Amino acid sequence: MLTQEMTQEINVETAVQPIEAADLYAKLLAGADLAILDVRNGEDFARWKVEGRKDLTIVNVPYFAFIEDEDASLAQVPQAEELVVVCAKEGSSQYIAELLAERGVKASYLAEGIVSWGNLYDVRNVVDADWGRIVQVTRPARGDVSFLVISDGEAAVIDPLRHTEQYMQVLQDNNALLTHAFDTHGHADHISGGPALAQRTGARYFLHPYDAIHPLDMLPARLDYVPLQDGDQFVVGRVDVDVIWFPGHTLGQVNFRVSAPDGSHYLFTGDGLFLSSFGRPDLGGRGEAWTPILFESLFERLPQRIDDATWILPSHFSTLDEADVGGRFAQTYGTLKQQNDGLRPRSREEFTGWVLANLPHFPPEYVEIKRVNAGLVIPNEEEAGELELGKNICALSGA
Ligand SMILES: [Fe+2]
DSSP string computed for 224-260:
--EEP-TT-EEEETTEEEEEEE--SSSTT-EEEEEE-
- pLDDT score at 2: 45
Q: Does the structure show a pLDDT above 80 at 9?
A: no
Q: How far is the CA of 187 from the centre of ligand 1 (A)?
A: 4
Q: Could you give the angle at which helices 348-357 and 287-296 cross, rounded to 10 degrees?
A: 130
For 30, other C-beta atoms within 10 Å of its C-beta total 12
**Residues whose CB falls within 8 Å of the CB of residue 4, separated by 6 or more in sequence, listed in order:** none
pLDDT of residue 397: 66
What is the DSSP secondary structure assignment for residue 314, as one 8-state letter? E
Distance 185 CA to ligand 1 centre (A): 7
Q: For all residues of the chain together, what is the average pLDDT?
A: 93
Burial class (CB in 10 A: 0-12, 13-18, 19+), 383: middle
Q: Contact at 8 Å (CB) between 214 and 221?
A: yes
Q: How far is the CA of 189 from the centre of ligand 1 (A)?
A: 6
User: pLDDT tens digits for 312-349?
Assistant: 999 999 999 999 989 999 999 999 999 999 999 999 99
* Domain 121-387 listed as CATH 3.60.15.10: yes
List residues with catalytic annotation.
Answer: 87
Give 4-117's CATH code, choosing from 3.40.250.10, 3.30.300.30, 3.40.50.720, 1.20.210.10: 3.40.250.10
State how far the alpha carbon of 66 is from the alpha carbons of 17, 62, 181, 307, 380, in Å: 20, 7, 49, 56, 37
- pLDDT, residue 14, reads 52
Q: Are 146 and 126 in contact (CB under 8 A)?
A: no
Percentage above 90 pLDDT, the chain: 84
Q: What is the pTM of this model?
A: 0.92
Q: Where are the domains of the chain?
A: 4-117, 121-387
Beta strands in 262-370 (DSSP E): 265-270, 311-314, 331-332
In this model, does residue 38 exceed pLDDT 80? yes
* Ligand 1 center–CA 32 separation, angstroms: 31
Q: Please, are residues 159 and 229 in contact by the beta-carbon 8 Å criterion?
A: no
| Residue 274, φ and ψ in degrees, nearest 5 | -100, 175
Q: How far apart are CA 134 and CA 145, in angstroms?
A: 12
Centroid of ligand 1 to alpha carbon of 250 (angstroms): 7
pLDDT digits (tens, 9 = 90+) for 65-78: 999 999 999 999 99
- Contact by Cβ (8 Å): 146, 181: no
d(CA 127, CA 26): 19
Q: How confident is the model at residue 396 (pLDDT cuts 50, 70, 90)?
A: confident
